[in-house]
Amino acid sequence: MAETTENLTPLPHAAQNHCFGCGQDNPTGLRLEFLLAADHSVVCLTAIPPAFEGPPGYLHGGIIATLLDETMSKAVRSLGLTAMTRQMEIDYLRPVPSSASIRIEGRIVRSDGRKHWTEAKICNSKGSVLARSKGLFIQVHAR
């Protein structure tokens, strides 16, 4: 991914985190790192390795769904809240290449009590949207 001049701040992880999407303690996971943008959206700049392919050269659809789900979840987490996916809708617009730089962005669209409506998208290095999603997340109490 090209250098960015945006003001992005690292979004901290829990001390022990085995999450498949963002867990640094999960050796077989994606180990995504998220940044908080000035507009309160979250951003992940990454390249997903071929181990997560479906068709040769392209990410598996379930991995694309995971990337979008994880990003929407982190948008809620950026408020200091823990929430779980209640509902999610995905538009697979173009194949997402493996090993290529991608940008994933997520944000909260609206909140009402424990309910948080979110959206996310995956873009290639040229800014073309490859996949996008909408989701409803329900706040839960951390254990």
Q: How would you list the strands of the sheet with 9-10, edge to edge?
A: 9-10, 35-36, 42-46, 102-112, 115-124, 129-140, 82-92
- C-alpha distances out from residue 69 to 7, 87, 112, 125, Å: 24, 10, 20, 21
Q: In DSSP terms, which residues pair with 82 in a beta bridge?
A: 140
Domain count across the chain: 1
Return the closest-CA partner of residue 57 out of 65, 68, 47.
Answer: 47
Q: Select the more confidently predicted residue: 18 or 69.
A: 69
Residue at 42 is within a domain: yes
Q: In DSSP terms, which residues pair with 136 in a beta bridge?
A: 87, 117
Residue at 4 is within a domain: no
Mean per-residue pLDDT, 80-92: 96
Q: Kindly tell me if the per-residue pLDDT of 93 is higher than 50.
A: yes
Residue at 114 is within a domain: yes
**What is the reported pLDDT for 14?**
64
Lowest mean pLDDT among 11-25, 65-79, 116-130: 11-25
Which residue segment(s) compose the domain that 25 sits in?
Answer: 9-140
- C-alpha distances out from residue 88 to 16, 69, 70, Å: 27, 8, 11
pLDDT bin (cut points 50, 70, 90) of residue 129 is very high
Please answer whether residues 37 and 89 qualify as being in contact, where contact means their C-beta atoms are separated by less than 8 angstroms: no
Two tokens at 71?
């990003």
Q: Kindly tell me if the per-residue pLDDT of 94 is higher than 50.
A: yes
The CATH number covering residue 27 comes to: 3.10.129.10
For 1-57, what is each residue's pLDDT tens digit?
444 567 899 887 665 678 887 878 888 888 899 999 999 899 999 999 999 999 999
**Three-state secondary structure call for residue 47:** coil
Residue at 3 is within a domain: no
Mean per-residue pLDDT, 103-121: 98
Residue at 1 is within a domain: no
Q: Select the more confidently predicted residue: 26 or 101.
A: 101
Return the closest-CA partner of residue 54 out of 68, 44, 69, 64.
Answer: 64
Residue at 43 is within a domain: yes
**What is the reported pLDDT for 6?**
79
Residue at 2 is within a domain: no
Residue at 80 is within a domain: yes
